[in-house]
Amino acid sequence: MSLRVRIAGFAGVAVCGVVLDQVTKAWARTALAGGPVTVVPGYLDLALVKNTGAAFSIGSGATWVFALLAIGIVAACTVWVVREREMPMGLVCSLGAVAGGGVGNLIDRVVAGEVTDFFATTFVDFPVFNVADIFVTCGVVAVLLCWQRWDAGRGEDNL
C-alpha cells in the first residue's frame, strides 16, 4: 500500500476522532454546566468532570507529563505508519484512532490544563470518560488484534 494511502487512512481517522471529541466536549461544557443528565436510568449519565490526571484521576496535576506522553505516542504511531510499507489498512486506521484520541485530550491539556470528561456509567463504578478516551481504548484493542493477525500472517509467508 502506498504511503499516500496509509497517511490518508491514518489522518482521516485521527481527524475524525479529534473533531468528534472536541465538538462533544464543547457541547458538554455548555449543556452539562447545570448538572448531570440521566440518559439511560441505572446505566449512563452525562456529568461534566474536569480531570487533570489520567484514568481514575491517576497523576492528578501532572498535565504536562501526560501531554508529553501523548505527543510521544502520536509521534510513534505516525512514524510506524510512515515506515511500514506492508501495514494493513485496519492497523493503519487503528493507529489513527489512538492518535486522534491522544490529540483530542492533548488539546484539552494544553488549552485548559485539564481534560473534559462527561460519560458517567452508573451501573458500575468506573471513571468518567470522553470520546477521545473511547478512540484511544478501542484503537489500542484494535491495534493489538490487527497487529497479532498481521504478524501471524507475515510469519506464514516466510515459511
Q: What is the DSSP string of 90-148?
A: HHHHHHHHHHHHHHHHHHHHHHHSSEEEEEEESSS----B-HHHHHHHHHHHHHHHHHH
C-alpha cell at 101: 484520541
Q: What is the pLDDT at residue 56?
A: 60
Give me the pLDDT at residue 62, please: 74
Q: Provide the pairing of β-strand 115-121 with 37-40.
A: unpaired
What pLDDT is recorded for position 151? Answer: 83
pLDDT band at 60 (very low <50, low <70, confident <90, very high): confident
112, 106 Cβ separation under 8 angstroms: no
- Catalytic pick from 21, 108, 117, 125? 117
Q: What is the pLDDT of residue 61?
A: 73
The whole-angstrom separation of Cα 86 and Cα 130 is 33
| C-beta neighbour count of 144 within 10 angstroms | 12
Q: Could you give the CA distance from residue 152 to residue 82 in angstroms, rounded to a whole number?
A: 21
CB proximity list for 111: less than 8 A, separation 6 or greater: none
Give the residue carrying C-alpha cell 475524525. 16
Give which of 86, 59, 80, 83 is closest to 139, Cα–Cα: 80
Kindly state the average pLDDT of the residues 79-87.
95
Report the pLDDT value the prediction gives residue 57, as an integer from 0 to 100: 64
User: Is this model's pTM higher than 0.85 or not?
Assistant: yes
Catalytic residue among 21, 45, 133, 151: 133
Q: What's the CA gap between 10 and 97, in Å, rounded?
A: 8
- Rounded CA-CA distance 68/29 in Å is 25
Does 137 have pLDDT greater than 60?
A: yes
Comparison of pLDDT for 77 and 66, the residue scoring more: 77
Q: Reply yes or no on whether 133 is catalytic.
A: yes
CB 92 within 8 A of CB 4: no
